[in-house]
Amino acid sequence: MSSDFPFSSSEMLAADEGAGGAGSNTPPFMTVSELSQRLKVTVESAFDFVRIRAEISRPTRAASGHLYFTLKDDRNTLDAVCWKTVAGNLGVQPEEGLEVIVTGKLTIYGGRSKYQIVVQQMEVAGEGALLKQLEERRRRLASEGLFDAERKKPIPRMPTVIGVVTSPTGAVIRDILHRLTDRFGVHVLVWGTLVQGQGAAAKVAAAIRGFDAMPAGGPLPRPDLLIVARGGGSLEDLWSFNEEEVVRAVADCSIPLISAIGHETDTTLIDFASDQRAPTPTAAAEMAVPVRAELMARLGEVDARMTRAVASRLEQAGQLVRMAARGLMDPGEMVERRGQAIDLAVSGLNRVVDRKLSDAALRLSDLGSRLRPPERRIAEVSAQLGNFEGRLSQIIDHKLNLQQAALDQAGRLLAANSFERVLDRGFALVSDENGRTVKRAAEAPEGAKVTLRFADASRTAQLDPDGKPPKGPSARSGPRTSARPKSDETGQDSLF
């Protein structure tokens, strides 16, 4: 018997005795389950720890939570299973075509008579495979519209509350707080979380969704802006921010979000889904708030511009008022302009007469030179011209006299209608304490104080100081029915 046969000689003897008794030549036998169990023990004891580099094919997650997939190379395949208790803690989730290095143990599944590997750990085989997985994931998420520019929200210019998702013990949070304090003091809420390793992606996504779920009027103020930040590192270190659950949490967040992962050369998938990408965490703080000194300088400049604008508008309004005042004329100036118009008309009339006379003289001279009339004709024409000139002078004088008479009449009418002229004739103007003119006795109560304005001055008086007003037509209200008095010599009706 070969030494590598899995059964010992004592076991063979016991089996032989069980089959045909002592000294029997009947070959030993076992049940299928016994053989399967012995093979399982042999394989698991010989291959209890193996590391395999292979490509994943046909990954499937069962309803129970277990993962089933196939590991293959260019010639062979190996079935693999990852139990539910381990699947949630894998550093890399299995995807079709992903090249990985798995660690586990071989076992035999007797129900199918096949061997398989029970996976305990999984990692990507090299950075090239990670980049390939990253590019395929980026294309898939981009096809869903998670990176579209239309989804991005504007960053607020003056946020009052800023939420920061990062490690609470790293240098990143200190740099962000220091820069925010230097530029413009705001209220900062820090949601501390893992940013690397197992479970980091789930915690980062939970922090983002937690900030987004905060109510506006809750015990803590709802942030106006979120910053998701982490320091630099390798592709594996930053892989949590490439996970699909983190990218979807960023894309679904209703609060404007700035991603600041790694250094300027580092790029993660949340940079495509965020509303704005910052090259470093410190740059994210600079994007979030303005510099207080620069803002104060801008406010001062705006205030100066507003002051200059208001002064300019006031100056323009003053100019308009002055222009309007120049456009208004008093009655004296209007009379003077009318007189100036008359002077211009008379001057124009004189010029026309002179021109007519000159033209007539020229025509007469021309006729005289051609006809050579006798001396009597010349004398008659001269007499006619003299008569014409006299009549023309009379017409002009008459027109001027009429204009002067009309002007004098207007002046007399203006003076006659002035109430001061009425006061000169002995009348008085009665007004109450509020300055309103009292036209009838009923308009002033008994004992009212009134002001009497005479031609030369005003006096104060009290109506009916001794008691009731006298009875008579003057004490009754309503229109007067007495006959109209005759007018005086000037044509003005009497006020008595």
Residue 472 — pLDDT band, cuts 50, 70, 90?
low
Return d(Cα 178, Cα 157) in angstroms, integer: 19
At residue 487, the pLDDT reads 44
Residues 113-120 have a mean pLDDT of 89
Tokens of 164: 């920061």
Residue 306 — pLDDT band, cuts 50, 70, 90?
very high
Name the residue type at position 335.
V
Of 116, 221, 237, 120, residue with least CA distance to 161:
221
114 contact partners, CB below 8 Å, separation of at least 6 = 79, 108
Block residue for tokens 């300019």? 312
Fold match between 31-125 and 133-147+161-289?
Answer: no
CATH superfamily of the 31-125 domain: Nucleic acid-binding proteins (2.40.50.140)
Residue 118 — pLDDT band, cuts 50, 70, 90?
very high
State yes or no: pLDDT of 376 exceeds 90.
no
Instruction: Determine contact, residues 92/123, Cβ cutoff 8 Å.
Output: yes
DSSP 485: P
The residues with which 104 forms a beta bridge, in sequence order, are 50, 119
Return d(Cα 178, Cα 189) in angstroms, integer: 14
State yes or no: pLDDT of 247 exceeds 70.
yes
State yes or no: pLDDT of 444 exceeds 90.
no
Return d(Cα 495, Cα 481) in angstroms, integer: 14
Residues 108-133 have a mean pLDDT of 80
Domain boundaries, the chain: 31-125, 133-147+161-289, 297-321, 361-413, 419-475
Of the segments 368-372, 449-453, 466-470, 471-475, which one has the largest average pLDDT value?
Answer: 449-453
308 contact partners, CB below 8 Å, separation of at least 6 = none
- CA angle 345/350/353 to nearest 5° reads 125
DSSP 454: -
288 contact partners, CB below 8 Å, separation of at least 6 = 155, 159, 162, 180, 186, 225, 227, 258
State yes or no: pLDDT of 178 exceeds 60.
yes
Residue 329 — pLDDT band, cuts 50, 70, 90?
low
Instruction: Determine contact, residues 176/287, Cβ cutoff 8 Å.
Output: no
State yes or no: pLDDT of 447 exceeds 50.
yes
Residues 160-168 have a mean pLDDT of 91
Tell me the three state secondary structure of residue 81. Answer: strand
The Cα-based distances of 344 to 36, 341, 347, 349, 350 in angstroms read 139, 5, 5, 8, 10
Residues 191-218 have a mean pLDDT of 89
Out of 17-31, 136-150, 235-249, 254-268, least confident range: 17-31
Tell me the three state secondary structure of residue 204. Answer: helix
For the stretch 124-129, contacts whose Cβ atoms lie closer than 8 Å and that sit 24 or more positions apart, written own/partner, are 124/92, 124/98, 124/99, 124/100, 124/236, 125/53, 125/99, 125/100, 125/101, 126/99, 127/235, 129/98, 129/99, 129/100
Q: Count helices and strands (H / E) in the chain.
A: 13, 13
Residue 250 — pLDDT band, cuts 50, 70, 90?
very high
State yes or no: pLDDT of 172 exceeds 70.
yes
Residues 207-228 have a mean pLDDT of 91
Secondary structure E strands in 392-457: 429-431, 449-453
Return d(Cα 60, Cα 82) in angstroms, integer: 10
Block residue for tokens 């922090």? 207
At residue 483, the pLDDT reads 44
At residue 103, the pLDDT reads 92
At 45, give phi and psi (nearest 5°).
-75, -30
CATH no., domain 133-147+161-289: 3.40.50.2300
Tell me the three state secondary structure of residue 426. Answer: coil
Residue 373 — pLDDT band, cuts 50, 70, 90?
low
pLDDT digits (tens, 9 = 90+) for 476-495: 444 444 444 444 444 445 44
Residues 373-393 have a mean pLDDT of 79
Name the residue type at position 414.
L
Residues 54-83 have a mean pLDDT of 89
Cα Rg of the chain, angstroms: 59
State yes or no: pLDDT of 378 exceeds 50.
yes
pLDDT above 90 covers a percentage of the chain that reads 15
Residues 273-280 have a mean pLDDT of 90
Tell me the three state secondary structure of residue 60. Answer: strand
Out of 11-25, 351-365, 385-399, 404-418, least confident range: 11-25
The Cα-based distances of 483 to 85, 324, 474, 480, 491 in angstroms read 124, 49, 14, 9, 17
Q: At what angle do helices 127-143 and 244-252 cross, to 10 degrees?
A: 30
Residues 428-434 have a mean pLDDT of 87
The Cα-based distances of 489 to 417, 462, 483, 494 in angstroms read 15, 36, 19, 10
State yes or no: pLDDT of 80 exceeds 90.
yes
DSSP letters spanning 135-181: HHHHHHHHHTTTT-GGGPPPPPSS-SEEEEEE-TTSHHHHHHHHHHH
Composition of the chain by helix, strand, coil, percent to 5: 45, 20, 35
Return d(Cα 227, Cα 284) in angstroms, integer: 7
Block residue for tokens 């001027």? 400
Residues 179-190 have a mean pLDDT of 85
State yes or no: pLDDT of 330 exceeds 80.
no
State yes or no: pLDDT of 297 exceeds 80.
no
At 187, give phi and psi (nearest 5°).
-80, 125
Residue 3 — pLDDT band, cuts 50, 70, 90?
very low
What is the average pLDDT value for the chain, to the nearest integer? Answer: 81
At residue 481, the pLDDT reads 45
Tokens of 364: 């007469």
Tell me the three state secondary structure of residue 206. Answer: helix
At residue 434, the pLDDT reads 85
Instruction: Determine contact, residues 209/249, Cβ cutoff 8 Å.
Output: yes
DSSP 493: B
